[in-house]
């Protein structure tokens, strides 16, 4: 009789544990995921990207300081090649 009682208590504890894991584990994983995501966003400053709407495109280009007169970015740098015989 004592063995059957022990076996019944063990089975009931198993099913209680199984139900608790089924409901509490996803909440715990969700909490840890959000916490790690917030830490990542704090560390790298990706707050702007989270607030953007889906499908909206923004292009951030750095503004150039006044380029020197006479220098052209398109022409490139002049290289004098030497010919060998």
Sequence-ordered list of residues with C-beta below 8 angstroms from that of 73, at least 6 positions apart, any chain = 67
> What are the average pLDDT values for consecutive 10-residue runs of the chain, which has 85 residues?
93 94 92 93 69 77 67 70 81
| Per-residue b or e along 46-60, where b marks 16 or more CB atoms closer than 10 Å to that residue's CB | eeeeeeeeeeeeeee
Supply the pLDDT for residue 41: 84
Supply the pLDDT for residue 82: 86
Give CA–CA dist 10/18, Å, rounded: 12
Structure tokens at 53: 């709407």
Q: Cα 55 to the chain's mean position, in Å?
A: 19
Supply the pLDDT for residue 69: 55
Give the pTM: 0.40
Supply the pLDDT for residue 55: 81
Q: What angle do CA 68, 70, 71 make, to 5 degrees?
A: 65
């Amino acid at each position: 009789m004592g063995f059957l009682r022990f076996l019944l208590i063990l089975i009931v504890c198993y099913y209680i544990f199984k139900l608790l894991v089924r409901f509490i584990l996803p909440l715990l994983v969700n909490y840890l995921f959000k916490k790690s995501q917030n830490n990542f966003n704090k560390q790298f400053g990706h707050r702007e990207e989270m607030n953007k709407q889906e499908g909206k495109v923004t292009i951030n280009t750095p503004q150039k300081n006044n380029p020197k007169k006479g220098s052209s970015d398109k022409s490139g740098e002049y290289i004098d090649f030497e010919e060998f015989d």
